[in-house]
């Protein structure tokens, strides 16, 4: 499965996989089973981060979807300050020692241009490692929420970070089918991303 085919969200009814796909399609399926009296808990996870998504299921499917779409607009806007808001430049505070500021000031283009260049270089050179870390953190969050009480959870997490596939598979083999397959899929994506860089 390529990165472009990766579902953005996954929903579970207890330990049973309900749906994977876009947030809207997964939320609709979750609402359908909740309205039908699913035993639950029905949880939706963002696959990229492993975080549970808070969804307000009240009302009609259309009302629920309208709230999902409106949710980002409900967040407070960033305070305007220096920068170029039309270009997406957001001012942040950076704390450095005086010698760091002196070095930055002496660089061509000034401090901002130099910091941007350094960040871009670090992003390129550490992409594989950062991807493995982010995917691992997502897997950890999901596993803690959904498999934290299952036998072998802690050792499976350690096996993942050691990239010990055989041990990871052995430790997760007795887990409920849908949970086992989902954590293995998340682990495979992380390992594949790491191996390709």
Residue 189 has pLDDT above 70, yes or no: yes
Query: Using an 8 Å Cβ cutoff, are 41 and 14 in contact?
Result: yes
Q: What is the pLDDT of residue 89?
A: 63
Q: Is the pTM of this model over 0.85?
A: no
Q: What is the pLDDT of residue 168?
A: 97
Lowest mean pLDDT among 5-14, 73-82, 87-96: 73-82
pLDDT in tens, 132-187: 788 889 999 999 999 999 999 999 999 999 999 999 999 999 999 999 999 999 99
pLDDT in tens, 81-136: 555 556 666 667 778 788 888 888 888 888 888 888 888 887 777 666 777 788 88
Residue 61 has pLDDT above 70, yes or no: yes
Q: In what order do the strands lie in the sheet containing 42-46?
A: 16-21, 9-13, 42-46
Query: Using an 8 Å Cβ cutoff, are 46 and 9 in contact?
Result: yes
Long-range contacts of 103-109 (CB under 8 A, 24+ apart): none
Q: What is the pLDDT of residue 158?
A: 94
């Amino acid at each position: 499965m390529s990165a472009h085919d990766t579902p953005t969200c996954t929903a579970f009814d207890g330990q049973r996989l309900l749906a994977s796909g876009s947030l809207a399609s997964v939320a609709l399926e979750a609402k359908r089973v909740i309205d039908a009296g699913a035993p639950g808990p029905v949880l939706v996870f963002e696959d990229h981060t492993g975080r549970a998504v808070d969804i307000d299921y009240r009302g009609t499917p259309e009302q629920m979807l309208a709230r999902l779409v409106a949710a980002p607009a409900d967040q407070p806007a960033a305070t305007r300050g220096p920068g170029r808001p039309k270009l997406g430049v957001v001012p942040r505070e950076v704390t450095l020692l005086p010698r760091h500021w002196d070095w930055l000031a002496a660089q061509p283009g000034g401090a901002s241009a130099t910091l941007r260049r350094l960040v871009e270089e670090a992003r390129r050179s550490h992409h594989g490692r950062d991807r493995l870390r982010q995917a691992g953190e997502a897997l950890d969050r999901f596993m803690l929420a959904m498999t934290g009480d299952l036998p072998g959870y802690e050792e499976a997490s350690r096996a993942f970070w050691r990239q010990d596939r055989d041990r990871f598979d052995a430790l997760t083999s007795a887990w409920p089918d849908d949970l086992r397959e989902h954590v293995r899929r998340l682990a495979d994506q992380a390992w594949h991303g790491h191996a390709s860089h």
